[in-house]
Amino acid sequence: MIYSEEDAERIRAGYCCIHCGESQVDKGTCPFPENCWLCKFPMRDKQLERYETEWVGHVRLGPSSNLEEELAALEEIDARRKRVSSIAVPRAL
């Protein structure tokens, strides 16, 4: 699963179930209820242990280049398109 930094913090703090992703706050429960109200995952006993073993940190999704590099690449593609001349196809006699 992929979570935003904010959602990952909610899971770590026990406000969201690590198993199904369901918020526990909506049902008026405190952090780390005994079980998730939806999937019944044992949050109080297992959530932090699972978080520690499965959490890989923040990972950037998308291109590894920055915005300036992406814009330069687009300008190069546009320049190449302008340099390409039309292909003339001779007529059959």
* Distance set, CA 36 to CA 1, 52, 74, 86 (Å): 18, 18, 48, 64
Predicted structure pTM score:
0.60
Q: In the prediction, which pLDDT does 18 show?
A: 94
DSSP 23: B
pLDDT at 35 over 80: yes
Query: Looking at residues 42-53, what average pLDDT do you find?
Result: 94
